[in-house]
Structure 1
């Protein structure tokens, strides 16, 4: 799990996750990440965290911030931004 979190937090490529760091190889962490995605683990964890924060009164549901940067623009656009 630590290897997956490191990649997600830092944005490094899976292949740069060295087994010497103690997390297993990058490909092993990627496979585990993919399996958890397919199993819906991350969605379930997200819902659980939101529920816990709501119960503690830590979420203001009257305000929201939406991020559409990872949503495909089906009609395209005039210009394309740089790719990572």
Structure 2
């Protein structure tokens, strides 16, 4: 299957939110599993990271970037100046408390298409 068709299938699934296995064959994007595998391969190869900067440059030069909806994720943006170091919070109890946010069930497996 050509990359362009797989990309269109990937974008269709991501845009509509349907499950990979329900990608309509009539659209000509191939099977959902094929598109899912191609997305995984491209992620592994770093394709999206390689496209991100050139796309931003092109949009910026064309005046097409809308920064009114921009969000900065502090886990990815380095601080310009170093602030004071955070001091770890002191524990007020001995031992560990039971978690209230997770259950003791096994961890879920990644999404798998049929």
Q: Same fold (TM over 0.5)?
A: yes
**1:48 and 2:50 equivalent?**
no
Q: TM-score, normalised by structure 2?
A: 0.50
Following TM superposition, the consecutive aligned residue runs of length 4 or more in structure 1 with deviations greater than 6 angstroms are none
Over residues 54-82 of structure 1, what are the superposed CA-to-partner deviations in whole Å (9 max), with x where a residue is unaligned? 22344477x842369xxxxxxxxx779xx
Name the SS for the 2:26 alignment partner. helix
Quote the residue 2:41 is aligned against.
35
Higher relative contact order (CA 8 A, sep 6+): 2
Quote the residue 1:72 is aligned against.
none
Residue 45 of structure 1, CA deviation = 1.5
Matched residues, number: 71
Gaps of 5+ in 2: 1-6, 75-99, 103-114
